[in-house]
Amino acid sequence: MDREVKLTDIPLMNPARIKNLKISGRMRRHLMDLGFTPGAMVLPLFSAPSGSPIAYRIRGTTVALRRSDAGQIGVLPDTETRLWD
């Protein structure tokens, strides 16, 4: 069984599944509107040289999140999904 980690702990190009959002209010609603909902697959693509923001691929779109916001998203690393065959 996988252990929940922060989205910011997932290495680039390694998929994960959203488990929960530990953020409330407007930002929570905004993230959910962007597709960051439990069960959704997310893929960290690249980050700025400073480490923030980080670009994520989710539900067919690319979204950049500040590291502080991405750190509030709990995920389960997905070791089953293969990106390249």
Q: Does residue 65 fall inside a structural domain?
A: yes
Three-state helix/strand/coil letters over 59-78: CCEEEEECHHHHCCEEEEEC
- The CATH number of residue 38's host domain is 2.30.30.90
What's at 39, amino acid-wise? G
Q: Residue 60: its pLDDT value, please?
A: 93
Rounded to two decimals, what is the model's pTM?
0.87
Residues 6+ apart with CB under 8 A from 61: 34, 35
Per-block average pLDDT, block size 10, for the chain (85 residues)? 88 95 94 95 95 95 96 90 54
Q: Does residue 71 fall inside a structural domain?
A: yes
Which residue range forms the structural domain that includes residue 37? 5-77
Count structural domains, the chain. 1
